[in-house]
Amino acid sequence: MPMNDAVDATIDLGGGVRAALVVAGSFRSDAGSLLGPAPWVLWRDIVGDEPDADRRLLQALNCLLVETPAGRVLVETGIGERISDKMRAIRGVQGDPILPAMRKAGFDPGSVDVVAMSHLHFDHAGGLLDAEGRRGFPRATIVAQRAEWEVALDDNPRNIAAYDQPELRLVRAWGDEGVADGEREVLPGVSVVPTGGHTGGHQGVVVRGPRGTLAFFGDLAMRPWSANPRWVTAFDDFPLDSVRTKARLFATAADEGWTVVLSHEAKVPIGRLERDRDRFRWVPR
Ligand SMILES: [Zn+2]
């Protein structure tokens, strides 16, 4: 895998299994919504001066390009190139979308075998198509959970607001080619693991190599404070599931020393989890 200055960071798991962090720009999201049930007095010092005039935090669009001897997996696609100028302004979208970000990092989007999606919210699935509406990753299958496709396209007003349904309808048939029902090894060493919580069909991605394990827990682990299982976002559709699943997965990640990549953290996106009383602590790499 070509490694150059344009790759934001790399993680080497040995045996030819490597991951590169590719940041597909950023957007802004309401601070209170991101901190969910946690009161402001507990998080004001944590976010410091990050909130803008509209009290929004900077959310990086972290994607992972995983290379294995058997092929390449892209995890997440960010917001992409098809968002309207109006929505771009409202969401505070900045930076290169996934396709130019990948090319700058030395990766041909045509070389991706699998696109693994934690879930299908607009800030994760928006980059599946290029600006003209063609498949951004022409050789790849999309791996998302069947349950996620179902909630993404249902008629609940909350889901209609959280997903870009017209865009998802354009990729629905493509998504069908790789749809998953439960845990699946998408390439040797790379597995998707259903988690629920944030959305009904949310999944994590776990990459195993001879020298270690890497996990991407999607929006169950957006930012360092997500290490507390009880600190879930207001965007989580099933918060009790999020808390339970985070506690279980984070315990394994902490006890086995997994490397973890956060989905929306700009400054310290790579690290590991450490046990801390009834919760966990984020330890940046
Ligand atoms: Zn997200």
DSSP secondary structure letters along 16-43: T-EEEEEEEEEEEEEHHHHHTTS-HHHH
CATH number of domain containing 71: 3.60.15.10
What pLDDT is stored for residue 86 in this prediction? 96
CA of 256 to the centre of ligand 1 (A): 26
CA of 83 to the centre of ligand 1 (A): 15
Assess if residue 172 is contained within a domain.
Answer: yes
**In the structure encoding, which two tokens stand for residue 221, read together?**
């682990």
Assess if residue 108 is contained within a domain.
Answer: yes
- Helices within the chain (DSSP H only): 31-35, 40-47, 85-91, 98-104, 122-125, 146-152, 157-162, 165-176, 239-255
Assess if residue 15 is contained within a domain.
Answer: yes
CA of 123 to the centre of ligand 1 (A): 5
CA of 33 to the centre of ligand 1 (A): 12
Assess if residue 180 is contained within a domain.
Answer: yes
Burial class of residue 247 (count of CB atoms within 10 Å of its CB; 0-12, 13-18, 19+) = middle
Segment holding 212, helix H or strand E: strand 212-216
What pLDDT is stored for residue 259 in this prediction? 98
What pLDDT is stored for residue 6 in this prediction? 53
CA of 120 to the centre of ligand 1 (A): 9
Enumerate residues 6+ apart whose C-beta is below 8 A from 180.
143, 144, 145, 146, 192, 203
- For ligand 1, a single-atom ion, the residues with CB < 5 A are 123, 219
Assess if residue 133 is contained within a domain.
Answer: yes
Please give the Cα distance from 23 to 20 (Å, whole number): 10
CA of 282 to the centre of ligand 1 (A): 19
What pLDDT is stored for residue 160 in this prediction? 95
CA of 80 to the centre of ligand 1 (A): 13
Enumerate residues 6+ apart whose C-beta is below 8 A from 247.
229
CA of 189 to the centre of ligand 1 (A): 25
Q: What is the pLDDT of residues 218-241, one digit of tens each?
A: 999 999 999 999 999 999 999 999
Instruction: Count structural domains, the chain.
Output: 1
CA of 176 to the centre of ligand 1 (A): 22
Please give the Cα distance from 128 to 141 (Å, whole number): 11
CA of 15 to the centre of ligand 1 (A): 31
CA of 119 to the centre of ligand 1 (A): 8
CA of 61 to the centre of ligand 1 (A): 8
Please give the Cα distance from 75 to 262 (Å, whole number): 12
Residue type, 273: L
Assess if residue 269 is contained within a domain.
Answer: yes
Enumerate residues 6+ apart whose C-beta is below 8 A from 16.
67, 68, 69
Q: What is the pLDDT of residues 78-137, one digit of tens each?
A: 999 999 999 999 999 999 999 999 999 999 999 999 999 999 999 999 999 999 999 999
What pLDDT is stored for residue 63 in this prediction? 98
Query: Who wins on pLDDT, 1 or 203?
Result: 203
> Which range marks the domain in which residue 82 is found?
9-284
Assess if residue 42 is contained within a domain.
Answer: yes
Mean pLDDT of 146-166: 97
What pLDDT is stored for residue 2 in this prediction? 43
Please give the Cα distance from 126 to 81 (Å, whole number): 7
CA of 121 to the centre of ligand 1 (A): 7
pTM of the model: 0.96
Q: What is the pLDDT of residues 91-104, one digit of tens each?
A: 999 999 999 999 99
CA of 274 to the centre of ligand 1 (A): 23
Assess if residue 1 is contained within a domain.
Answer: no
CA of 38 to the centre of ligand 1 (A): 18
Please give the Cα distance from 80 to 97 (Å, whole number): 5
Enumerate residues 6+ apart whose C-beta is below 8 A from 94.
25, 26, 27
Query: If DSSP states are collapsed to H, E and C, what string results for 255-279?
Result: HCCCEEECCCCCCCCEEEEEEECCE
Mean pLDDT of 51-57: 97
CA of 177 to the centre of ligand 1 (A): 24
